[in-house]
Amino acid sequence: MSEDLRWMSTRELAARIADKEISAREALDDQLRRIDEVNPALNAVVTRDDDRSRAEAAAADEALAAGAEIGPLHGVPMTHKDTNDTAGMRTTWGSPIFADRVPQSDSLIISRLRRAGVITTGKTNVPEFAAGSHTFNPVFGVTRNPYDLDKSASGSSGGVGAALAAGIQASGDGSDMGGSLRSPGSFNNVAGFRPTNGRIPNSSPSPFSWLGQTGFMARTVSDIAFLMSIAAGPEPGLPAILAEPGSVFDRPQFRLGGQAPDLTGVRIGFSPDLKGLLPVEPEVVDIVAATAPVFADLGASVDDVIPDLSDGDEVFGVRRAMDFLASWGGLYETDRDRMKESVRWNIEAGQRLTGPQIVSAEAARARLSGEVQRFFADHDLLVLTTCQVLPFDVGIEYPMEIDGTQLETYLDWMRALCLITATGCPAISVPAGFSAAGLPVGVQLVAKPGDDVRLLEIAHAFEQATRWNERHPEIGE
């Protein structure tokens, strides 16, 4: 049975549990066995509570047997990103400062998953304070890529990405500030979705922020839509909410047996490197460029018209500095010596901000918004690379150069992601192919703010046409 469950989608697993074809206990046992098989090599799952999860699985089976009303994820086991609070289970943010922290309540995204029936089984690894797109920290160490254990799984949702790729679970929660769902999606050959700002209300340490958003990764776009139908929607008392309920994601084409739509009439602006704005490794450019004919074959019109996103650097840099100062500035005053250099760098950048700098960044954001609106007035989608590099050596913190271009900061290799974050647009990375060495590459699809459902429909059609997501690593075979 474990071989069957390993690559089963979340939708199918939930349906089979509801139909009593698989018990919650069996689903849990399968997940725990898979963690035992592959996690010693990956280090993706860093916290477990088998006793708690076994008790919850038993209760789920008993409730179903008794005819109780069940949620759409009833009995589905799931680990969670170690930045999302889980009541009664430690949430460390990968920091020695929080190594023994056990929250008393769940983050919003976790509470919505658990109300839908999810059984929490553990936590997945993150970079310290989720800073950077390579998953390592002094508490748990480094997470490795299932396709090549000598390569990075990216981050900050790298533990989630590695767990999905390795067959531990089919989908999982995460968060995305500078690409933390999209980048590990690309590195691990899964889909990673950053929703429109406020699609899932923000309950982060900096609640007024819009830069960081919670969302999902999955081996199929269909599963992302499924989880969004459960986790999205307004929450009284939280800022930056969208009025639409999560049910807008419950579309027939995403359901089991549903047909992916054709893309006739979809207008796409396409440039792997944003017309030279981004340095990108040549092999990545070639793989992403090869997706353009796929979209055309599906009925879309593809041209090279793109928006000017150069203002995004200023918007992202200033807003990120403000958010780090707001979230961790107090901790910096008492524990700065226990923080990694890049975390201190972000907080100190926030401390140095002046009023004119903030005003300038707001003006840049207004210009960027206007550029995005003009582009989407006659396009439905922007397509570019997700990552500018292939998965890199696990022993380095971040790449220092791309195709001969020297990089100045740890964020520079992530600009394809950070620039899109600055727009506030929904974006998804979907598998686009593999390098000659067998390393995954993703393509990033971007839609106008609020057009999340249409974005997932297009991504679903591309995924169904290419089937790159069905190529799994050999780890644990």
Residues with a catalytic annotation lie at 81, 156, 180
Nearest to 333 by CA among 325, 341, 322, 323: 325
Residue burial 57-75, b: 16+ Cβ < 10 Å; e: rest:
beebbebbeeeeebbbbbb
* DSSP one-letter string for 172-217: EEEEESSSTTHHHHHHHTSEEEEPPTTSS---SSSTT--S-EEEEE
CB neighbours of 156 closer than 8 A, spacing ≥ 6? 81, 83, 126, 127, 130, 131, 132, 133, 135, 174, 175, 177, 180, 184
Check if the beta carbon of residue 133 is closer than 8 Å to that of residue 389: no
How far is residue 183's CA from residue 157's CA, in Å, rounded to a whole number? 8
Burial level of 477, CB count in 10 A (0-12/13-18/19+)?
exposed
Distance of alpha carbon 470 from alpha carbon 477, whole angstroms: 15
Place of tokens 């969208």: 242
* Beta carbons within 8 Å of 201's beta carbon, 6+ residues apart: 108, 234, 235, 238, 239, 240, 241
Residue whose tokens read 């406020």: 198
Look at residues 136, 135, 173 and name the one whose alpha carbon lies nearest to residue 154.
135
Beta bridge partners of 383: 270, 445
Q: Two tokens at 142?
A: 């480094």
User: Both tokens of residue 118?
Assistant: 């999810």
Q: What sign does the dihedral 349-413-227-266 (CA atoms) show? A: positive
Residue 295's Cα: distance from chain center in Å? 23
Distance CA 56, CA 246 (A): 26
CA angle in degrees (0–180, nearest 5) for 251-255-261: 60
Q: Is 252 helix (H, G, I), strand (E, B) or coil?
A: helix
